[in-house]
Amino acid sequence: MADTAASTSRGPRGPKPKRIFSGTNILLYGILILVSLYYLVPLWVMIMTSLKTMPEIRIGNVFAPPVEITFQPWIQAWSQHCTGLVCKGLSPGFWNSVQILVPSVILSIVIASINGYALINWKFKGSEVFFVILMIGAFIPYQIMLYPMVIMLRELGVYGSLTGLVIVHTIFGMPILTLLFRNYFSSVPEELFKAARVDGAGFWGIYFRIMLPMALPIFVVAIILQVTGIWNDFLFGVVFISKAENYPMTVQLNNIVNSVQGIKEYNVNMAATLLTGLVPLVVYFLSGKLFVRGIAAGAVKG
Amino acid sequence: MAVVDQSAAPVSAERSAARARKPNKLFRNLTAKIAMIPLVFVSVGVFVGFTIWTIVYSFTSSKLLPKLNFVGFEQYTRLWADRRWLQSIENLAIFGFFSLILTLVVGFTLAALLDRKIRGEDVFRTIILYPFALSFIVTGLVWQWILNPQFGIQHIVQSLGWTSFQFDPLNNPDIVLYGILIAGIWQGTGLIMCIMLAGLRGIDDDIWKAAKVDGIGTLKTYLRIIIPMMRPVFITSLVLIAAGIIKVYDLVVAQTSGGPGLASQMPAMYVYDYMFGGQNLGQGFAASTMMLVTVAIILIPWAYLEFGGKKRG
């Protein structure tokens, strides 16, 4: 192990370590397994608690698997749990989130991809300045833009509605997505663009026939980024939605679990929490390396 | 669609420069300019415009509705005299300090461990990163449950025989921030680990070989050679973590709602409550402006280090 040399962006290379049970190795894997436990325990606890009955929760401990598996908490959390007078569970929140998610993802990605393409291939005086402002904007705390945004949405007549929230997500998703597409298109050889221009293709012609088909992988990365980001949003949901029946899933979840009235049903709470986390988790486990690529794109500037 | 003949331009390396010299500038590539309207609107209209709007109104006495009657720094003096705000700043400082240090240390250590040519690297990485896909609300609620004094860790340790064991961070004002820290670290270290791992993979093999030849131990190589070499990666991580810390909101809302008492209040909660709950807009504007100032203090030196001198393009 001592001569381990990490290298290249593709991963470790060279011969495998010879002695598997050397002291260093035991320490290494020991630490990693312990650390993994810290990361896995919450997921385990969530699943186990959501499958237990309340009497069992009261006598047992949170880490123990259920003696008797019940799916009642899941059903309860999904469609029967009461918040106030409404007893529909989390499902309305789920559908609200879907209705917010789908248009936001499509709209923000379409706009950002066109912006990124225009920024690289159709530069005009000052276009870079706008891009730099957009990048700085990504670091501005949202709080400072919330109120003017409320006023704008109110003027447009969409404050409090799902449409309003779609606009908000599209706006605040723009910096990162534009960066993503701009960096991708800047790696496309310029000759390709020039050749298309010589052949008479215009702005949209080049975008749809050349850039779009080439950028499909980056579209997937953008979708992953947006789906998890928008699904997990809480602040915008609280601020820009005014009616409880329009709340996205995260807001509804928080209202259910942190409600002060009634008896705490921990199993239902955990089932609800899992249900809310399910969409990003599925995206994460299905996307694998693309997820990493998405967050790396967000983290490391090009 | 675009009405420009570009055949003369390709000779020039900088296409835009060549184009700019031709007449009728404003309407050249009109389609492209129209397509850029959203970008221009968001960058100038929203990010610059909205920010300035809030800063301007933070100098007014706006209560229920924004009104332009200027009162100078009154909102700010009131803000810095408010116990709740001072407490939030203190909380943020403590939480931020530990969060920053721990995330960097844990993130780097994990990346270094994963980089030691181990088996099952993908599995470990997947496990460490998955919390990052979850929302702060989910994170906060799970840890609220695990730290529950009646059923969670405290109860289990007690039932194992150590009856005097006390670990109830979410209801103990002295340690509530550490309870939130445990959850925050759980959610956020995966990202930093990934960035660090990418940084480690970018380090040349020869560095390791040279260190080996010189007889420098592994640990020493990391501390003396690798970490100084990874300075840009560390700075990027630092900025990312710091920007996240200042915005911390949902995690605390889900885990403690700012309690017990004021013990886990955060600036972002103060802003929200005054803007949308307390209907004291001026205070909310002033507080959010202070948040912006904090970000600027972190960001400007970084931008200077990162882009100072050289131009991006």
Q: Which long-range contacts (CB under 8 A, 24 or more apart) does A38-45 make?
A: A38/B186, A39/B127, A39/B128, A39/B130, A39/B131, A39/B186, A39/B190, A40/B127, A41/B146, A42/B131, A42/B139, A42/B142, A42/B143, A42/B146, A42/B186, A43/B130, A45/A270, A45/B142, A45/B145, A45/B146
Q: How far is B22 from chain A (nearest CA, A)?
A: 12
Distance CA B209, CA B73 (A): 60
- Residue A257, chain B, CB below 8 Å: the answer is yes
Fold of B76-307: MetI-like fold (1.10.3720)
**If you count them, how many residues does chain A have?**
302
Cα separation, B237 vs B107, in Å, equals: 10
- ipTM value > 0.90: no
Q: Tell me, yes or no, if B166 comes closer than 8 A to chain A by beta carbon.
A: no
User: If you count DSSP H runs as helices and E runs as strands, how many of each does chain A have, helices first?
Assistant: 15, 0
pLDDT tens digits, one per residue of B167-226: 888 888 899 999 999 999 999 999 999 989 988 988 888 888 888 888 888 888 898 889
Structural domains of chain A sorted by starting position, each given as residue range(s) with its CATH number in brackets: 23-70 (no CATH), 91-299 (1.10.3720.10)
List every span in chain B annotated with CATH 1.10.3720.10.
Answer: 76-307
Contacts of B299 in chain A (CB under 8 A): 136, 139
pLDDT 10s per residue in chain A (302 long)? 344 444 444 566 665 555 566 778 888 899 999 999 999 999 999 999 999 988 888 887 888 888 888 898 899 889 888 777 777 888 999 999 999 999 999 999 999 999 999 988 888 878 888 888 888 888 889 999 999 999 999 999 999 899 999 999 999 999 889 988 988 888 888 888 888 888 888 888 889 988 888 888 889 889 988 999 999 999 999 999 988 889 999 999 998 888 877 778 889 999 999 999 999 999 998 887 888 877 766 554 43
Residue among B138, B146, B275 minimizing CB distance to A276: B138
Q: Given A32, A145, A204, which is nearest B46 (Cβ)? A: A145
Interchain contact A38–B (C-beta under 8 A) = yes
> CB-based contact (8 Å) between B136 and chain A?
yes
Q: Which of B248, B252, B258 is nearest to B291 (CA)?
A: B248
- CA angle, residues B82, B83, B89, in degrees to nearest 5: 95
Q: Does B114 touch chain A (CB under 8 A)?
A: yes
**Tokens representing residue A104 in the block:** 């936001």
